[in-house]
Structure 1
Amino acid sequence: MSEAEAGQRAGVAGRESGVAAVERTRAVAVFALQMGSVVLCGSLEVIGDARWAGVWPMPALLALLVLTGLAISAPAGIRRRLPSRWLFAAHYASVAVICVAAPRLAHDLVVVWWPGSALPYVLLTAVMTGVSYRSWQAVAAWVGVLGGAFTYGSVMTGDEWWAVLPHVAGMVANAGVAWYVTRILTRNAGDLDRARAEEVLRTAQLSEERERARTARLLHDRILQTLEALVRDGWIADDGVRARVAEESRWLRAYLRGDDGDPEGDVLAVLETVVRQAVGTGLHVEFNAGRLRGSPDRERVPPEIADALAGALREALTNVAKHAGVRHAVVWAESRAGVLTLSVLDHGRGFDPARRPPGLGIARSIVDRATAVGGTATVDSAAGEGTHVTVRVPLPSPV
């Protein structure tokens, strides 16, 4: 695994840790609110001398309320994890049902204690909706249900509906503030996690760049210098071995410059591949592509043009090896004013263009390839004067 990949994994792990921390905070808040609600409900019932014990089915409804509350509190308090949204829905629905059923089932008892004992519990439940749901639509829906149920219970006990509006407004405000604060905490945690992940990735990339620079210095100062000395100073007598070492040294120098891209996606890499293949056959090729290497046009050469140039270059170098009578060629490539130019020059025996010998493949493999991509190709040669092949292809206009 590279250091950059390690940094990315560390960033993802950091983000997961931050999200988990926010979820734990929400779970603790839900646990505190729920336990507070259960204690409040229980204490009011004890103070009221178990007044609901004989009003059926109020004991069953209260038992359902306590059970759903405990089911929410258990994972939130022990495992620091929010339970299912359906469990929250069941609990909130039981609160609303009790607010509607209590005035009908035990109207006289409700008149005594409503809304003093019901309001705190409903308020805490409204706050819990803001903490437990991420969607404001869900929070608004449940606050509407709770507010409507509480208003109905108040009206059934003799209160005017408009007198309940301040209490409902308090539910809306408390739930909204709880939802907004939770959302801000979640967003800030995500921003911090992303910043930490980016910093870890930058550190890993810097370390990788330093390691590559160190490796490049070692390769350049030791191995590359040795390979080029073997070729330059004539220490290798065998022409094939010397050509192979020269090819590898040129590849290594290109790699150290950073020109190790995908041959299928970069015209310069395509041409260098053809040159290396020719060198592998024993041909000495001097490749000059400085004006193409730094040109912005290099990134917008379509694959079909790169393939055509590669085919033309391969055919031209093959002709040098087979027919020129020399083992040296000069390849020059540049891009200027939106035109890509490739030339191959040798100082071999040449030929008379008017009496072109068969088998050179110039018309089919060079001229036709250039014409197929909207370019032109010229071949200048004379007997005993060498051969100069030039291919020019205009590039598509940038979008």
Structure 2
Amino acid sequence: MSPQRPPRPPGTQASAGTAVAGIERSRAVTMVVVRVGAMVLCGSLEVLGDGRWLALGPLPYLLGAMAGASLLVCAVTAARAALPPRPLLWADLALVVVVVLAAGRYAGPRVTDGWPGTILPYVLLVGIMVGISFRTFPAVLAWTAALGGALLLGYVQSDLVWWAALPHVAGLTTNATMAAYVMRVLFRTARDLDQARAGELRRSAQLSQERERGRTARVLHDRILQTMEALTRDGWIADPSVRARVAEESQWLRAFLRGDDGDPAEDVVAALEEVVRQAVGSGLRVEFNAGRLRSAPEREGMPAEVVEALSGILREALTNVRKHAGVGHAVVRAECRSGTLALSVLDHGSGFDPDAPTTGLGIARSIRDGARAVGGSADVEAAPGEGTLVSVRIPLPSGE
């Protein structure tokens, strides 16, 4: 009796295979069955009864119009496998109200204790139709009130006490509200089922993608990455620029396979990886170990100024190795323990005297001053001919 249908989740449609579509079809079937059953019941009562009150006045024509409208609703519902359009449903319900009022006026002299016996059962079954069709309880109660009010007026026009109609009004209201409640539960359950199925499909697709990504990563690591690193490590490439380029791409591929592809401005590991890649691209071979930093919870939400300072310190330290150490290899370690971020850069090059007045400004300004700027400290251990170790410690804010 209402054109409104239960809402569907955003972005979903009641396609043929969904649970919501199944409820739509079941609702259409129920509507047709209830209407046909109501017409058969009322027709039987008129044929077998002894009142013959529908022969009075315009009642036969109104009853024929009501039956025709109900058959039309059944035909359209069956063809659509869903409720008919709004105008047809409202016209059908309005016609029922008119017939109830006319029955009270024209059949008054023939009224028995059951009141118009042919109309009353149909009105009670119309309550079920209303509950099936409407989406909200206020709408169900509004249409039920219209039908109940017509029953009350019919009793008054038949010179019967109006409160005698109250049990029928209560039955009509119960039929409508219970049918509406059942439909709401069914549609809610169907939507939840469709969402669960969609989520399961998404999870299945994601799992398949992760498995394929893992298989691809294993192939890249076991064959391509190891081959690239062997080429740079074992001297198979004579051209230094080509060897540096291959080494840089090897570092990038290893970081990618580990999942370190975050924004360098926000991820400290990604920022240090970027500095290492740049150093490798300049011809330096770097062994980078940041396993403890990757797994540390403090890595998440690390202050941007700490990330920037640490990146600058590492860049300066690797630049010193490349320019002054006289070796092509450095070892970088980064970790986070007990709320302190630690970074070390080691080379086995020519070394220097860190206390000599000729020590480069890079160590004093870029490394020591950079660490102090974020509340940390830096130590440089070096000696001529014995290499250099740069150690940086930066305490992280509590709660980070």
Q: Which moved more, 1:157-166 or 1:330-339?
A: 157-166
Q: 1:352–1:381: 8 Å Cα contact kept in structure 2?
A: yes
Question: Does the Cα contact within 8 Å between 1:103 and 1:110 map onto a contact in 2?
Answer: no
- Identity, in percent, stands at 56
Give the aligned partner of residue 350 of structure 1.
Answer: 352
Hey, what does 1:80 align to over in structure 2? 81
In structure 2, what is the Cα distance between the partners aligned to 1:224 and 1:230?
A: 10
Separation of aligned partners in 2, 1:336 and 1:282: 32
Distance 1:31 1:156 in 2: 32
TM-fit CA distance, 1:369: 4.8
CA distance, structure 2, for counterparts of residue 340 and residue 299 of structure 1: 13
1:51 aligned onto 2:51? no
Are 2:100 and 1:96 equivalent residues in the alignment? no
Unpaired runs of 5+ in structure 1? 1-10
Distance 1:30 1:370, change over 3 A: farther
Matched with 1:29 is 30
Matches within 5 A, 1:250-399: 250-348=251-349, 349-350=351-352, 352-353=354-355, 355=357, 360=362, 362-363=364-365, 365-367=366-368, 369-371=370-372, 374-382=374-382, 384=384, 386-398=387-399
| Structure-2 change in CA distance of 1:49 and 1:263 (3 Å) | same
SS class of match (1:360): helix
TM-score (normalizing by structure 1): 0.80
Cα distance change of structure 1 residues 159 and 228 upon mapping to structure 2, 3 Å threshold = same
Matched, 1:111 2:111: yes
Q: Is the 8 A contact 1:14 1:196 kept in 2?
A: no
Conservation of the 8 A alpha-carbon contact between 2:14 and 2:20: no
Q: List per-residue Cα deviations over 1:7-66 (Å, max 9, x = no partner).
A: xxxx989897222221122122223334444566677788958636647xx957974x56
- Which secondary structure does the structure 1 equivalent of 2:300 belong to? helix
Partner of 1:212: 213
Q: Which residue of 2 aligns with 1:237?
A: 238
- Counterpart CA distance in 1 for 2:187 and 2:322 is 69
Task: After superposition, give the CA deviation of every residue in 1:215-257 in whole Å (9 maximum; x if it has no partner).
Answer: 2332233222322222232211122222222232333333334
Task: Report the CA distance between 1:358 and its aligned residue.
Answer: 5.8
Q: Verify the 8 A CA contact 2:14 2:21 in the aligned structure 1.
A: no
Using a 3 Å threshold, how does the CA distance of structure 1 residues 143 and 290 change in structure 2: closer, same or farther? Answer: same
Q: Is the CA contact (8 Å cut-off) linking 1:353 and 1:381 kept in structure 2?
A: no
**TM-score, structure 2 as length reference:** 0.80
Distance 1:22 1:238, change over 3 A: same
Gaps of 5+ in 2: 1-11
Tell me how far apart the structure 2 counterparts of residues 169 and 38 of structure 1 sit (CA, whole Å). Answer: 22
State the match for 1:224 in structure 2.
Answer: 225
Aligned 8 A contact 1:115 1:154 in 2: no
Greater percentage in helix: 1
Letter in 1 for 2:281: G
Residue 165 of structure 1 and its aligned partner are, at CA, apart by 2.5
Shift of 1:393: 3.2
Over 3 Å counting, the alpha-carbon distance change for 1:358 and 1:188 in structure 2 is same
Q: Distance in 2 between matches of 1:366 and 1:62?
A: 97
The alignment partner of 1:236 has SS state of coil
Q: CA deviation at 1:133?
A: 1.7
Q: Would you say the 8 A contact 2:368–2:377 is kept in 1?
A: yes
Are 1:284 and 1:327, in contact at CA under 8 Å, matched by a contact in 2? Answer: yes
Please, which moves more after superposition, 202-211 or 31-40?
Answer: 31-40
The letter of the residue matching 1:360 is: G
RMSD: 3.6
**Contact map agreement 2:104 2:154 (CA 8 A) in 1:** yes
Alignment of 1:63-74 (within 5 A): 63=65, 65=66, 69=70, 72-74=73-75
Give the AA of the match of 1:278. Answer: A
For the structure 1 residues 95 and 237, does the alpha-carbon distance in structure 2 shift closer, same or farther, using more than 3 Å as the test?
Answer: same
Separation in 1, partners of 2:156, 2:192: 47
Shift of 1:194: 3.3
Q: Distance in 1 between matches of 2:263 and 2:13?
A: 29
Moved more, 29-38 or 126-135: 29-38
Aligned length: 383
SS of 1:115's partner is coil
Q: Distance in 1 between matches of 2:15 and 2:234?
A: 56
Q: Please identify, of 13-22 and 316-325, the stretch whose mean Cα deviation from structure 2 is larger.
A: 13-22
1:3 aligned residue: none
